[in-house]
Chain A
Amino acid sequence: MTDQAGEQPVRSERAGDVAVVYAGEYLNKLSGERVERECRRRLEEGCRALVLDFRQTGMVNSIGVSILLGVIDAAERAGASVVFSAVQHQAAQVFEMLGLTRHVRIAKNRTDALAQIANSAAVGVAPNKTK
């Protein structure tokens, strides 16, 4: 999916009412804003859960973190849950340190993320609350 002419595309896909959005190699202002726009677009489409896949993401800077917090906030306002999947070590450390992991669930990979969402839907777990 390309959201703006001339910009690097943000890959995303739908799996039922779940959207999987793939972050790029470096999550900074430019790429972060593209991911954010794509997430908001998917929420507006009516997705009930977002999977943010970080399999390619080696680095996340401060602006990237802030933008992800905004995505979490937007999902909460829309009543949707957020799962971070395939988070690499360095990014995982940053997310843990800054408390993002308190507001999202963590999955090993995309399949695991979709399974977690399916399970929580089956047992009626409130979105994003893992504490």
Chain B
Amino acid sequence: MPTAETAKLIHAFAALADLGEEIAATRDFDQMVRSTLHVVLGALGIRRGAVAECDAAAGELRFVAAWGMGDDAPASLSFDPRLLEESLRDSADPAHFFERHLKSNFRAELERLKVGLVVPLVVHGELVGAIMLGGKATEEAFTPEEREVVATMARHIGVGIYNHRLLREVERRAQENRKLYEDLRAVYRNTVRAFAIAIDCKDKYTQGHSERVGKYTEIIARELGWGEEEVDDIAIGGYLHDVGKLIVDRDIINAPYKIDAKQSSELNRHPAAGFEILSPLHQIDDVIPTVARYHHERIDGRGYPEGLTGEQIPLCAKIVSAADAFDAMTTDRTYKRRKEFPEVVEDFRKTTGKQFAPEVVVALFSAILKEVDGETRERRFARLLGRDYLQPDLYRPLIVELLAELGQGERAAAETA
């Protein structure tokens, strides 16, 4: 049978173990502080108490948790922050400041709260808060041993608060960095867009083409389930896919007649030139020069510059290839009116599996179908093509039919394989 003193010691040890567990396991700051306050109160049978966090810059002890005080606990206690600065100049220990200034400053308030024992929470020379305790349920004074128990627990609670503060600071900085990163991405995207406009200026027939290809590319990639950053990268690939045209003679690009073989050969250099321009830029994703290089390849091997077939063509290039063709079909050129939507569907029906990858065409038309069916809030095709271009009542069956056909085709291919 333990003596009363031993029993108290065992209870205090158990409470210290509880304290460590609460500090380590509780992620929510307020809840952690509330639990640690409970541990201190329960360790010594104290009826009321509070833990306040110190904001030295604001000169404030902010009450984070209070127990047994009813509505008496204030939100905070204020002090002159200059006093703390001056005190720290005289002595490195903020506990001295606490003893010399704060206790007397708050005496009336502490009496009103029936607080008899106040312990500053000091970690690495920083005043992080204070713990304020009322009387014990036994109505006896605190013994020196009990004060030592409180001081020990206060050190742990101080470290808990200090660590949570560090965590908050790390989170704040991480958020700042995220914001900075987002801002830089926005600047990057806008620069790329501006560059895309510059590319299109070279071709008087295709104003806005690169930007639209970027947007269609983004839609298709998203429909294929690509992640946000991958979508961002391939969209930029879409914006810059024709960057190689910068080295092609403007007269060839803008020729109002059928160009000859030599001119055609010159024009067909633009994918390789685009790759040469973009590939030395190590800060950009590999997908961007890859798109520039292979966006004129065809599934059947009749494309250029390398005549790759099927799986040899990177998926990113297949996506931009379809986006590029879709925009070419659906925009007016000086020498040619754009195709009506049924013709576009028919063109893709004929060329899918020859020029275009079926999964990419399926993604493109699935995205269109979703917009036609009102499943997407953003009406991106309507904005790019004009409101009246896609007529849901008339054209929806065509899209469904094409998708069914491509779906069957894919299944059949899979079965054969």
Which residues of A are interface residues toward B (Cβ below 8 A)?
A: 29, 61-67, 69-70, 72-73, 77, 93-94, 97-100, 102-103
Closest residue of chain B to A63, judged by CB?
A: B38
18 A–B contacts from the bound complex (CB under 8 Å): A61-B14, A62-B11, A62-B15, A62-B18, A62-B39, A64-B42, A66-B39, A69-B41, A69-B46, A69-B47, A69-B68, A69-B137, A70-B67, A73-B47, A77-B70, A94-B11, A97-B11, A102-B138
Max count, chain A CB within 10 A of own CB: residue among B8, B14, B38:
B38
Cα separation A102 to B48 with both chains bound (whole Å):
16
Main secondary structure of the interface of B (DSSP, over half): helix
Contact status A65-B42, CB under 8 Å: yes
- B196 close to chain A: CB less than 8 A: no
Tell me which residues across on chain A come within 8 A of B15, comparing CB atoms. Answer: 61-62
CB within 8 Å of A: which B100-156 residues = 136-140
Tell me which residues across on chain B come within 8 A of A62, comparing CB atoms. Answer: 11, 14-15, 18, 38-43
Main secondary structure of the interface of A (DSSP, over half): helix
Contact status A99-B18, CB under 8 Å: no
Contact status B38-A67, CB under 8 Å: yes
Cα separation A96 to B70 with both chains bound (whole Å):
25
Cα separation A97 to B43 with both chains bound (whole Å):
11
Contact status A99-B68, CB under 8 Å: no
Beyond the given A93-B7, A103-B137, please list 10 additional residue pairs across the A-B interface where CB-CB is below 8 A: A61-B18, A62-B14, A63-B22, A63-B42, A65-B43, A66-B37, A67-B38, A98-B137, A99-B136, A102-B139
Cα separation A97 to B140 with both chains bound (whole Å):
12
Closest beta carbon of chain A to B15's beta carbon, Å: 4
- Interface residue tally of chain B, by bracket? 20 to 34
Cα separation A67 to B37 with both chains bound (whole Å):
11
Contact status B139-A29, CB under 8 Å: no
Tell me which residues across on chain B come within 8 A of A102, comparing CB atoms. Answer: 137-139
Max count, chain B CB within 10 A of own CB: residue among A61, A63, A72, A102:
A63
- B4 close to chain A: CB less than 8 A: yes
Contact status B139-A99, CB under 8 Å: yes
Q: With A70-B67, A73-B48 in contact, is A61–B42 under 8 Å at CB?
A: yes
Tell me which residues across on chain B come within 8 A of A72, comparing CB atoms. Answer: 47
Contact status B18-A69, CB under 8 Å: no
- B366 close to chain A: CB less than 8 A: no
- B44 close to chain A: CB less than 8 A: yes
Contact status A29-B137, CB under 8 Å: no
- B35 close to chain A: CB less than 8 A: yes
Tell me which residues across on chain B come within 8 A of A67, comparing CB atoms. Answer: 38, 42
Closest beta carbon of chain B to A71's beta carbon, Å: 10
Contact status A99-B45, CB under 8 Å: yes
Max count, chain B CB within 10 A of own CB: residue among A61, A64, A100:
A61
Cα separation A121 to B275 with both chains bound (whole Å):
94
Closest residue of chain A to B69, judged by CB?
A: A73
Q: With A62-B14, A66-B39 in contact, is A98–B67 under 8 Å at CB?
A: no
Closest beta carbon of chain A to B349's beta carbon, Å: 54
Contact status A63-B137, CB under 8 Å: no
Tell me which residues across on chain A come within 8 A of B40, comparing CB atoms. Answer: 62
Cα separation A102 to B140 with both chains bound (whole Å):
12
B19-42 CB mask vs A (1 if < 8 Å, else 0) is 000100000000000010111111
Max count, chain B CB within 10 A of own CB: residue among A62, A64, A65:
A62
Contact status B35-A63, CB under 8 Å: yes
Contact status A97-B7, CB under 8 Å: yes
